[in-house]
């Protein structure tokens, strides 16, 4: 029931892929206005500043980052090209250009922009690491490892580099070395949420108690993380710690009232492991309220009703299951059992 490793790798790679670059000589002016853009104040301020100082490349870069965050890629490209025209020797501008191209799916242009950034500033860690990430996306592991090595040579304290190499190693099937790199990443950066999540996943697959520790570290950073809470609940469930699993899923329900899997998994525990069928029905019903097309919840509620002898309700749930999921074998088998007892809705 754990999420497949490759799905998690994709998620983790993209969630930490685009990071805002900072120029050591010129503070990104978008940062100064962070948190005040509920009504476009940041954009208005930057535009006004550009009107007053039209030859300031930092202002165009700041507005390009704003447009990038808002997914207005054409505007972002226009501004970053203006910034580059005004200051062609600034590697940070080319890194932002690479971010825009990457989010547009233009990997060749992204590569060209990063090559330019590195040629301008060979010691720019951000550019080197982003190149490693790009090659990871392209599944060119040899070049991924080359750029990771370059990044680590620039700075031994480099948790992002170790994380990228860990993901590449996992995709190549080398779990042991990947774990070593992930541990290095969290040792160097104890706020590295994505690395804790990945470690939690890997140790969960082994049913190793360390999984809970890593996931708790992730939750210390993001207390309402649906992903971390669900993975922790699943770890407890798969290792027979049902009280802890239920408590964790209930915490998840509070964190995300729309997440159907939290009540469903509680219902599953009561149905399969604790044999408390009335509570199983209650939680499967909660899952159905969150998703009226949740056929597994209808089936399991029907099965719990069948085990309690509430055959009419069970029959109805099995039929509803088949309306949603045609030819679902378990529901067909359930109806056949009830038909043999001459039970009808």
Q: What is the DSSP string of 75-104?
A: HHHHHHHHHHHH-TT-HHHHHHHHHHHHHT
Closest alpha carbon to 317 in 274, 262, 280: 280
Give the residue from 311, 310, 332 showing the smallest Cα distance to 321: 332
pLDDT at 3 (0 to 100): 42
Contact by Cβ (8 Å): 262, 252: yes
Report in angstroms the alpha-carbon separations of 143 from 92, 116, 132, 149, 202. 22, 17, 7, 10, 25
Please list the pLDDT of the chain residue by residue as tens digits (345 residues): 334 444 554 444 544 544 433 333 333 444 444 444 454 899 999 999 999 999 999 999 999 999 999 999 999 999 999 999 999 999 999 999 999 999 999 999 999 999 999 999 999 999 999 999 999 999 999 999 999 999 999 999 999 999 999 999 999 999 999 999 999 999 999 999 999 999 999 999 999 999 999 999 999 999 999 999 999 999 999 999 999 999 999 999 999 999 999 999 999 999 999 999 999 999 999 999 999 999 999 999 999 999 999 999 999 999 999 999 999 999 999 999 999 887 655
Burial per residue of 114-147, b for 16 or more beta-carbon CB atoms within 10 angstroms, e otherwise:
bebbbebbeebbbbbbbbbbbbbeeeeeeebbeb
Q: What is the pLDDT of residue 40?
A: 83
Q: How far apart are CA 60 and CA 85, in angstroms?
A: 11
The pLDDT of residue 341 is: 85
pTM: 0.84
CA gap 310, 271 in Å, rounded = 15
Long-range contacts of 108-114 (CB under 8 A, 24+ apart): 110/134
């Amino acid at each position: 029931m754990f999420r497949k490793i490759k799905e998690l790798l994709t998620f983790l790679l993209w969630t930490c892929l685009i990071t805002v670059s900072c120029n050591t000589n010129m503070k990104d002016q978008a940062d100064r206005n962070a948190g005040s853009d509920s009504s476009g104040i940041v954009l208005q301020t930057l535009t006004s500043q550009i009107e007053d100082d039209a030859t300031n490349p930092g202002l165009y870069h700041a507005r390009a980052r704003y447009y990038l965050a808002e997914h207005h890629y054409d505007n972002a490209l226009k501004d970053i090209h203006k910034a580059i025209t005004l200051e062609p020797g600034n590697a940070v501008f080319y890194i932002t250009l690479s971010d825009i191209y990457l989010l547009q799916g233009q990997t060749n242009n992204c590569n060209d922009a990063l090559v330019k950034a590195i040629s301008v500033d060979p010691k720019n860690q951000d550019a080197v690491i982003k190149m490693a990430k790009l090659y990871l996306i392209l599944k060119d592991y040899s070049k991924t490892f080359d750029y990771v090595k370059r990044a680590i040579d620039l700075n031994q304290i480099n948790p992002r580099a170790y994380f990228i190499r860990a993901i590449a190693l996992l995709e190549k099937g080398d779990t042991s070395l990947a774990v070593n790199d992930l541990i290095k990443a969290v040792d160097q950066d104890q706020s590295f949420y994505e690395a804790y999540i990945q470690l939690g996943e890997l140790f969960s697959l082994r049913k190793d108690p360390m999984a809970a520790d890593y996931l708790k570290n992730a939750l210390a950073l993001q207390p309402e993380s649906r992903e971390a809470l669900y993975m922790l609940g699943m770890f407890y469930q798969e290792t027979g710690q049902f009280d802890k699993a239920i408590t964790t899923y209930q915490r998840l329900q509070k964190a995300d009232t729309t997440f159907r899997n939290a009540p469903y998994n509680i219902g599953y525990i009561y149905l399969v492991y604790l044999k408390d069928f009335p509570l199983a029905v209650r939680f499967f019903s909660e899952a159905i309220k969150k998703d009226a097309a949740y056929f597994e919840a209808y089936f399991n509620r029907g099965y719990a009703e069948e085990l309690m002898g509430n055959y009419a309700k069970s029959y109805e749930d099995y039929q509803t299951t088949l309306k949603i999921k045609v030819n679902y074998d378990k529901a067909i088998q359930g109806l056949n059992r009830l038909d043999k007892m001459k039970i009808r809705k």
